[in-house]
């Protein structure tokens, strides 16, 4: 089945630094990837939708200059949290649509736990 | 219009019991209704999904019931096991579009 690999699985960084999270589709080409943020005991909140070769579409309230998304290839999307602060500490999850499963094939990565100290 | 409301927030059942989780939506453009299972520290994994053209779908011990007129759908976990203890999310989307998630239900199955 479709596999989405996300790295790192956890990261600790100092306040003010930037952190990059990678999301790779291993066995399919993903023209569209999604980035979510999940706070403890809460649901997944969509941050942005990225399409290969074009700018990401951000959800209302998400700072595009703070959460930089790059989808430079059909198998890789990256999320960079710039100038991270403790309030950015969260669980970040990517998802990719597998065209082989039609318009309904969403596969999720295993998530990245970001802790900003 | 885009909300998906999920209930209950948590529930506890004995092994062998049948946890039932309910979701309601408003957007009539939604035509894909998946359920995801999430364990702590992991990403969500697809359990089962349904389209509006059927009223029920079963996969193993998991059953989705769908009521299009009421705009509601539910997940039943038959013969629940302690290993089913997890957080369950319903979701919905229009064809090929982004998923909207419910608030989640934490299920605990006691041995």
Are residues B38 and B44 in contact, defined by beta-carbon separation less than 8 angstroms? yes
Q: What part of A 12-31 touches B (C-beta under 8 Å)? A: none
How far apart are alpha carbons A91 and B41 in whole angstroms? 8
CB contact under 8 A, A34 and B102: no
Instruction: Give the A:B interface size as CB pairs under 8 Å.
Output: 50
Tens-digit pLDDT profile for residues A86-111: 999 999 999 998 877 766 778 999 99
Contact flag B43-A110 (C-beta cutoff 8 Å) = yes
Note the pLDDT of residue B2.
59
Record the tokens describing residue B62, joined without a space: 């998991």
Neighbouring CB atoms inside 10 A of A15's CB total 12
Give the Cα separation of B111 and B108 in Å (integer). 10
**Beta strands across the sheet bearing B56-59:** B4-7, B20-25, B72-77, B62-67, B56-59
Over residues A58-87, the mean pLDDT reads 94
Please report residues of B whose CB lies closer than 8 A to that of A112.
none
d(CA B56, CA B20) in angstroms, rounded, equals 14
Closest CA of chain B from A43, distance in Å:
5
pLDDT for the residue numbered A48: 96
B23-43 in b/e form (b: 16+ CB < 10 A) is: bbbeeeebbbbbbbbbeeebb
Cβ separation of A110 and B89 shorter than 8 Å? Answer: no
Choose the closest CB to A108 out of B45, B100, B106.
B45
Task: Indicate if the pLDDT at residue A2 is higher than 90.
Answer: no
End-to-end CA distance of chain B: 40
Find the helix or strand (DSSP H, E) in which A93 lies: strand A90-97
Residues 6+ apart with CB under 8 A from A19: A11, A13, A80, A81, A84, A114
Q: Tens digit of pLDDT for each residue in A10-60? A: 999 999 999 999 999 998 898 889 999 999 999 999 999 998 888 899 999
pLDDT at A103: 64
Q: Please compute, for residue B54, the number of CA atoms within 13 A of its CA located in the half-sphere on the CB side.
A: 11
* CA dihedral sign of residues B88, A97, B42, A21: negative
* pLDDT tens for each residue of chain B, 111 residues long: 558 999 999 999 999 999 999 999 999 999 999 999 999 999 999 999 999 999 999 999 999 999 999 999 999 999 999 999 999 999 999 877 889 999 999 999 999
């Amino acid at each position: 089945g479709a596999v989405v690999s996300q790295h790192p699985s956890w990261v600790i960084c100092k306040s003010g630094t930037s952190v990059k999270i990678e999301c790779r589709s291993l066995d399919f080409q993903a023209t569209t990837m999604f980035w979510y943020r999940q706070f403890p005991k809460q649901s997944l909140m969509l941050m942005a939708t990225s399409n290969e070769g074009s700018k990401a579409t951000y959800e209302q309230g998400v700072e595009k200059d703070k959460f930089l998304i790059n989808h430079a290839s059909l198998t890789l999307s990256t999320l960079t949290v710039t100038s991270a602060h403790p309030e950015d500490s969260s669980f970040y999850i990517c998802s990719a649509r597998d065209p082989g499963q039609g318009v309904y094939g969403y596969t999720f990565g295993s998530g990245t736990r970001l802790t900003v100290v | 219009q885009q909300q998906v409301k999920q209930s209950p927030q948590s529930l506890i059942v004995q092994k062998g019991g049948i946890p039932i989780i309910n979701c309601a939506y408003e957007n009539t453009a939604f035509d894909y209704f998946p359920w995801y299972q999430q364990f702590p520290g992991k990403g969500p994994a697809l359990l089962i999904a349904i389209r509006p053209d059927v009223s029920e779908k079963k996969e193993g011990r998991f059953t989705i019931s769908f009521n299009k007129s009421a705009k509601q759908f539910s997940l039943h976990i038959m013969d629940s096991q302690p290993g089913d203890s997890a957080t369950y999310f319903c979701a919905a989307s229009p064809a090929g579009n982004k998923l909207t998630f419910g608030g989640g239900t934490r299920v605990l199955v006691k041995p």
